[in-house]
Amino acid sequence: MAGITFGDMYFVHPTHSSEGIHFHELVHVVQWSTLGVNEFLLTYALGIAQHGYEQSPLEAIAFDLQGRFEQHAALDGVVDRVARHAVATRDVASAVFRLHGLKIVQPGTSVTELTGNMGNTQLSFYQRFSFINPSQ
């Protein structure tokens, strides 16, 4: 692994450091910023589970744009393109979760609104996670 991104921070292994790697990680910074922590992590994890690392949607666009950057190609509107792609990828992931009776929710979303009036023990459990099975 050449680098890893957490929110608006990224780390690059010194032996793999190049402008292209930094660009790749900045693509992930835009994705994190667009989706937020929960949606990014769930979308990213599902992409890897379905497609493997390099072909997962959030990595595939980062690798594609990194290659274009390294070839000095024009990258007009790259931030908007990455943000739109992240939202579209999140929407696909949300549909997959819904097929399995799960819902991606933002922190602070009313769990009672999603699950009905449940006991405090169950409600406390559900508040720790970023997806909910409303039928349980």
pTM of the model as a whole: 0.75
Which range scores top for mean pLDDT: 9-23, 85-99, 122-136? 85-99
pLDDT of 105: 63
CB 56 within 8 A of CB 44: yes
| Domain interval for residue 122 | 102-136
Q: What percent of the chain has pLDDT over 90?
A: 54
Whether 104 has a pLDDT exceeding 60, the answer reads yes
Same domain, 32 and 87: yes
Query: Mean of the pLDDT values across residues 72-82?
Result: 95
pLDDT at 108: 56
Q: Domain tally for the chain? A: 2
Using the 8-state DSSP alphabet, how is residue 17 labeled?
-
Question: Are residues 33 and 93 both part of a single domain?
Answer: yes
pLDDT, average across residues 75-97: 95
Average pLDDT, the chain: 81
Quick one: pLDDT at residue 109?
54
- Do 94 and 129 have their domain in common? no
Same domain, yes or no, for 136 and 77?
A: no
Q: Which of 60, 39, 47 is nearest to 131 (CA)?
A: 39
